[in-house]
Structure 1
Amino acid sequence: MLKPTHADILNKPYSQMKDLKLYCPDDLEKIKADHKSAWQIFKEFNLKVYQNLPMHFAKPHIENWCNGWEIRRHFFAYYKYDSYLGNAPIIAIILNRQRLIICLTWYSYKAKVFNSSLQKFNAWTDKINLENCSEFYVWHSSVDYYGEFQSVREFDCDKIHLKDGEFYRLGRFIHKDELDKFNDDELINWTRQTIERLSKVYEYCH
């Protein structure tokens, strides 16, 4: 299943095909093959997680490994309830060069084609009992997935002052070097449990 080597494969000299063809022509086919092979494992992992989730979850959307002009620098999938397929809040799974992340987030990239509002999404910070998720992390929408995440223990919902377009994410992560400590069933179970716990907060966002 997912191991440090799959995160390391994402560490490419370039991501755009034109740059890879120009600067790494001899390595291009191996880079593509390795990346696609790692993505297949990421895809299989998500489908196994999905098989263990409650029935009200829709089949996950798993972003392809390549969009034709770029070999992506991360693997990305997201989960929604069947009843919320038209809304922008998602529970995302991201594997990047640094860590495996599971988080509740606002799908900014596609938000305009969905029905829900960012104001409704941000309601989770008013409704959540942070004591029930003390091992989770929170990070502002301006912090990328390689940034520093703030422990829930240090987060004060009463001091939130969001500007237009801003939001907070809630999630957990495993550093890529720690993935070797999990066997397949353990990692699937950890991910499933995290998604189910986040789903309670996800319900506040609609």
Structure 2
Amino acid sequence: MEKMKVDPDLLPPMPMTLVGATVEGRANFMAAAWVTRVGHKPPLIGVAINHRQWTGQGIRQTGAFSVCLPGRDLLEKADYCGLVSGRNVDKAALFDVFYGDLGNAPMIRECPVCLEVSLTQTVEFEHHAFFIGEIKAGWADGEVLTAGRPDVDKYKPLLLTMPDNRYHALGPVVAQAWSVGKALKKGTDHESSGD
């Protein structure tokens, strides 16, 4: 099949989240999809936030933030959080806000899964800051757990694609990771760690 050159601004599907921070003494949430795990031990997560966003100011002030994963039932409110600024609107009033172990990372009770994060590093770019933090605690609704762990088939995370700016639902499982490729690995002369 012939490859066609496309816009380099194309991004892979990203998780749709609500990032929370305490800004000037009150809870605030923003829609954020530029979110990724960056470490395993300790568990690190990073989020890119434009310098003009009020939430970034709160992360800098308190050294803490949350990453909340909304379900489809919160999509309208989550999208709204990406349309208005917390400087002008009390977005936290849309939700039942709770705090966990850190005490200053607001989370949304209606989100089936929430992470409490302690800021460890900030990487500055021209238009964005990339906030990296250690996940100090995870909070999940009991009905989305399987064997004590959040189950994506139950909490149904949302994805955002850009630059078409569309929300998607996560699809069905298609294979087991680090297993489906074993048939190809069999018979090779060397062991590989996936490098």
Higher strand share: 2
Normalised TM-score (structure 2) = 0.25
Normalised TM-score (structure 1) = 0.24
Higher helix share: 1
Q: Which has the larger radius of gyration?
A: 2
